[in-house]
Amino acid sequence: MGISPRAYQDFENGRTGLLLARVRLFADILKLDHFAILAAFHLGKPRIAHVFAHNKFMLVQASAVDEFDNEMQDAVAAVDPLTVLDAHLQFYEQLAEAGRAQLRAADGRRPKD
């Protein structure tokens, strides 16, 4: 990464300020989701960076938003925050159920009826 081992340890342990360029470089080198790292930092939940590191969950979300055209941006921006939160929670529950089914299949368990 072009930094000393001590600087890397300080970065990894959260003892430095958040430098976006450094986070992106770190994520690129390890092929991780830099958006998940940023979300984990802002929310104070390091597990987020760990569990979404390889499926690029947060990057996929950012990519989806990037696909919005101007009309869609305006329409979504007009929605009140509680409706946005509710829609996200419903979506995440559906996504989690799909993930649970995949985990059951990977374990060789029967699908839930």
The angle formed by the CA atoms of residues 59, 32 and 14, to the nearest 5 degrees, is 105
Task: Specify the pLDDT at position 54.
Answer: 84
Pick from 82, 83, 87: nearest CA to 61: 87
Domain ranges of the chain: 1-65, 68-113
Count of alpha carbons within 13 angstroms of residue 13, beta-carbon side: 7
The pLDDT tens digits of the residues spanning 12-68 come to 666 666 678 888 888 889 888 999 999 998 899 999 999 998 899 999 999 999 999
Q: Are 37 and 57 in contact (CB under 8 A)?
A: no
Query: Token digits for 14?
Result: 């959260």
The pLDDT tens digits of the residues spanning 57-110 come to 999 999 999 999 999 999 999 999 999 999 999 999 999 999 999 999 999 877
pTM: 0.67
